[in-house]
């Protein structure tokens, strides 16, 4: 990949990381446990607790995406960005443009990693090898709560 392309992806990834860090910080207040004496305005306590759970779930999603972005930035620093982490082929530029935090080429099935976790997690050996890819592990864990 050309140096200027890498710089462009790095800028996008750094912007996205900064945005996620802002969102995580901004959400911290909503994540606080709901205490009986907490001033919650018109919300009932149950509603306040539901809002807290949603804030925590949102934070987890932000943190997972931030981890992917930081991993992508690490690959850029190593000069290994844009290369499939499984087969070593180049990842199509259109794919990186759509999602700069992509680590698998289309051929390795990463295209639907986040959209169709059910299919990727199905099957024994296949699921285990995919679990070495962090996004697949995340997809599998969200698929089966309690594991």
Footprint on this chain of Zn ion (rule: CB under 5 A): 84, 86-87, 89, 105, 108
If DSSP codes are grouped into helix, strand and coil, which group holds residue 83? Answer: strand
Q: Which lies closer to Zn ion via its Cβ, residue 50 or residue 129?
A: 129
Which one, 75 or 108, has the nearer CB to Zn ion? 108
We find the least distance from the C-beta atom of residue 37 to Zn ion, in angstroms, to be: 55
Three-state SS across 95-117? HHHHCCCCCCCHHHCHHHCCCCH
To the nearest whole angstrom, how small is the minimum distance from the Cβ of residue 116 to Zn ion? 17
Least distance in angstroms from the C-beta of 118 to Zn ion: 21
Smaller CB distance to Zn ion: residue 89 or 97? 89
What is the Cα Rg of the chain in Å? 19
Closest CA to 65 of 105, 108, 19: 19
Contacts of 49 (CB under 8 A, 6+ apart): 34
């Amino acid at each position: 990949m050309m140096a200027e392309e890498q710089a462009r992806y790095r800028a996008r990834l750094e912007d996205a990381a900064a945005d996620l860090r802002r969102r995580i910080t901004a959400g911290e207040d909503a994540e606080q446990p709901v205490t009986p004496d907490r001033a919650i305005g018109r919300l009932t306590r149950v509603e306040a607790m539901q809002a807290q759970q949603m804030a925590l779930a949102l934070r987890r999603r932000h943190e997972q995406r931030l981890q992917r972005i930081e991993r992508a930035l690490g690959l850029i620093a190593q000069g290994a960005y844009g290369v499939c982490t499984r087969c070593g082929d180049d990842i199509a530029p259109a794919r990186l443009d759509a999602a700069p935090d992509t680590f698998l080429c289309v051929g390795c099935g990463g295209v639907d990693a986040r959209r169709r976790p059910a299919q990727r997690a199905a099957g024994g050996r296949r699921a285990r090898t995919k679990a070495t890819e962090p996004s697949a592990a995340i997809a599998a864990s969200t698929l089966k709560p309690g594991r």
